[in-house]
Structure 1
């Protein structure tokens, strides 16, 4: 039988190495870098574009995130949102012209849990998504949890990371975002 600390380390170490590794070590070419908005997350590459981002062009974009991640691993949907912010900022878009909202439901809810709640569900592991969520919220990114999913999975409102908002449902959050002019990420 494996000691609980060793079992937790088995999951946490690869996640920590992935965070500390440059994009090239993550299987991406050296042209992929993080930042300038979300340092350490969301690697993107510069692209010689046929239709470049124009000065003053505005983006109001929402992401529907329902897929979870393996315990101790970053949620791909959260990383994709960071990539969206980074690649547009690196392409010349002003921060105030790129507004993002995340609607999280289903298995992805665990990615937004406070450390103690995450650890109680995943063999004592720290939530590797917590620093990324904090960085997104620091950039005024709206992160809304589906209240229906939270209730069905037994997650109390206070178990979610600071700054995460509770919506009546993912459907309600998306309807309001669309009403407010947000496009929806198709993948």
Structure 2
């Protein structure tokens, strides 16, 4: 276990991580602090599999966080979002490419001072000779998965998983009694 953790730290903290991957990137800025356009080739991996050796089929079939092992330097890059406004969707966009080498284009967040390293926002994906595809399908896939959550407003207010957590743990995550106490004291 410790060996795998050291391996991860070596991947993320590699001095090669400072390479410039902005050439030919067509990534659109989000005006985020420390963002840099980054286009590179990488293998899509199940992060938990890489760290622990626990490797279910199909990278966990939608139940695991996915990562990118960059071909140029074997550094693990952590994709945290797709090209949609919410910070969601990266794993969903990458899942069809489990254990495949693909090319990605997006924004890298890098800042030593705040401890951000190899955080990635994937905007486009290219597999082999296929055309680039936009990484923007998360909300459509979510709507197909939860048709009963149809309606207006933000998806997370209608998501049955979120509603279940709120029903059991309250809005504050401290239990239903804490919600009642908070409401009585503040409203």
| TM-score computed with the length of structure 1 as normaliser | 0.25
Q: Which has the bigger relative contact order, CA under 8 A and spacing at least 6? A: 1
TM-score (norm 2): 0.25
Say which one has the larger Rg: 2
Q: Which has the higher strand share?
A: 2
Structure with the larger helix share: 1
